[in-house]
Amino acid sequence: MKKQLLAILLLISPALVLANEGGANLDKAQIDPANQESLQRGARTFVNYCMGCHSAKYERYNRLARDLGISETDVIDNLIFTGAKIGDTMKIGMQSKDAKKYFGAAPPDLTLIARRRGADWLYTYLRTFYLDDSRPFGVNNKVFDKVGMPDVLWELQGWQKPVYETVTDVNGNKHQKLVEVKLVRQGTQSPAEFDRTVRDLVNFLTYMAEPVKLQRQALGVKVLLFLFVLFIITYLLKKEYWKDVH
Ligand code: HEC
C-alpha cells in the first residue's frame, strides 16, 4: 500500500512544485483568475494606461470579449481606442524603432509578459517606481534598475521615495542598499485602492499570457479525480481476482 501512496504523491507533485513558484523580496500579487470583474477592470487599465506604448498583438478583441464576459459592443465602446476592428489583434501605432529613440529601449509586447516575469514580479514592478533625479524620466524602479519606462501610473499612486540601508559586504566595503520605497505624496487613489488597481491589471496580464489556463486546471482536477476512482476500482478488482489464489 505504501508504494501505491508514493505513486499517487509522485503523480501530483508537479502541481505542488508549481504552487511554490515566486522569488524573494517580491510582493504577493494574490490574483484571482476566476474573477471576471477584476479582469474587466484590468483590461480597462491596460488599454488606458499601457497601450500608448505596449501592444498585445497575440490577443484579439473579440476573444477578450468572450473570455471576460463582455459584449462586443461594450468592447468597441470602452476598450478600443486605436480605431481597430473587433476581430483585430491589440496592436498599436507606435513603431518600435521610434520608441527606442524616445525611451532608450523599445517597450516589449505584453501578451506573454506574465509567463516570463510571473505575477508577483509584475505586481511589485508596477508599484515600486520611485523618484530618482539621475534618470531621464526622473524615476527608477525597485525590481528593474535603470528602467526606460516612465512612471505611467503616478497620477493614481502618487510619488515614492527610496529608503536605503548601509550594508557591509564580505570584503568589509560599505554599500547603500535599497530596502523599500515609501509614499511621500499620495495620488488620486489610496494605497489600498492602488494595490487593487495593479492587482486587477496583473490579473489581466496573467489571463492574456495563458487564456485557457482556467479550463486547463479544471480539466486537470477532473483527470486526477478520475485516476483516483479508477485506482480504487482496480485495487478492489485485483483483490477479488487474487482472493482464491492465496
Ligand atoms: C510611455 C510609454 C510606456 C507606457 C505608457 C507603458 N510602458 Fe511599460 N515600458 C516602456 C518601455 C520604454 C519599457 C522598456 C524598459 C527598459 O527595457 O528599460 C517598458 C517596459 C515594461 C515592462 C518590463 C518588460 C520586461 O522587459 O520585462 C513591463 C512589465 C511593462 N513595461 C508594463 C507596462 C504596463 C503594465 C503599462 C501600463 C500600466 C505600461 N508598461 C505602460 C514604456 C511604456
Q: Look at residue 129 and give its three-state secondary structure.
A: strand
Ligand 1 center to 156 CA (angstroms): 17
Scanning the structure block, which residue is given the C-alpha cell 496583473?
A: 202
At 5, is the pLDDT very low, low, confident or very high (cuts 50, 70, 90)?
A: confident
**pLDDT, tens digit (0-9, with 9 covering 90-100), for 184-197:** 999 999 999 999 99
Please state which architecture CATH assigns to domain 25-211. Answer: Orthogonal Bundle (1.10)
* pLDDT, average across residues 13-19: 55
- Please identify, by atom number, the ligand 1 atom nearest to the C-alpha of residue 205: 35
Average pLDDT over residues 65-88: 94
Looking at the chain, the whole-number percentage of residues with pLDDT higher than 70 is: 93
Q: How many helices (H) and strands (E) does the chain have?
A: 10, 6
- Pair type for strands 89-90 and 129-131: unpaired
Is the distance from the beta carbon of residue 115 to the nearest atom of ligand 1 less than 6 Å?
A: no
Average pLDDT, rounded, for the chain: 91
Whether residue 197 contacts residue 156, with contact meaning beta carbons closer than 8 Å, is answered with yes
CB neighbour class for 67 (10 Å; exposed up to 12, middle 13-18, buried from 19): middle
pLDDT value of residue 246: 65
Using the mean position of ligand 1's atoms as its centre, give its distance from the Cα of residue 10 in Å: 40
Question: Over 90: is that where the pLDDT of 203 sits?
Answer: yes
Residue 21 has pLDDT above 60, yes or no: no
How many CA within 13 A on the CB side of residue 57?
A: 10
Element (H, E) at 186: strand 174-186
Judged against a pLDDT cut of 90, whether residue 25 lies above it is answered with: no
Report the pLDDT averaged over residues 122-138: 96
**Is pLDDT of 17 > 70?**
no
- CA 42, distance to chain mean position in Å, is 11
The Cα–Cα gap between 53 and 50 comes to 6
Residue 35 CA, ligand 1 centroid: distance in Å? 25
Q: How far is the CA of 54 from the centre of ligand 1 (A)?
A: 7
Q: Is the CB of 148 under 6 A from ligand 1?
A: yes
Residue 8: band (very low, low, confident or very high) from pLDDT cuts 50, 70, 90: confident
Average pLDDT estimate for 128-142: 96
pTM of the full structure: 0.83
Q: H or E segment at 221?
A: helix 213-242
> In this structure, are residues 92 and 108 in contact, taking their beta carbons and an 8 Å threshold?
no
Q: Mutation test of ligand 1: which of 49, 53, 116 has the most ligand atoms closer than 8 Å to its C-beta?
A: 53
Please tell me which residue, 215 or 89, carries the higher pLDDT value: 89
CA 33 to mean position of chain CA atoms: 10
108 touches ligand 1 (CB under 6 Å): yes
* Atom 6 of ligand 1: nearest residue by CA position: 50
107 CA → ligand 1 middle, Å: 5
pLDDT category at 14 given cuts 50, 70, 90 is: low
Burial of 93 (0-12, 13-18, 19+ CB in 10 A): exposed
DSSP state at residue 133? T
Which atom of ligand 1 is least distant from the CA of 116? 27
- Is 53's C-beta closer than 6 angstroms to any atom of ligand 1? yes
Give the span between the Cα atoms of 11 and 231, in whole angstroms: 12
Helix, strand, coil share (%) of the chain residues, nearest 5:
50, 15, 35
Q: Which helix (H) or strand (E) holds 57?
A: strand 56-60
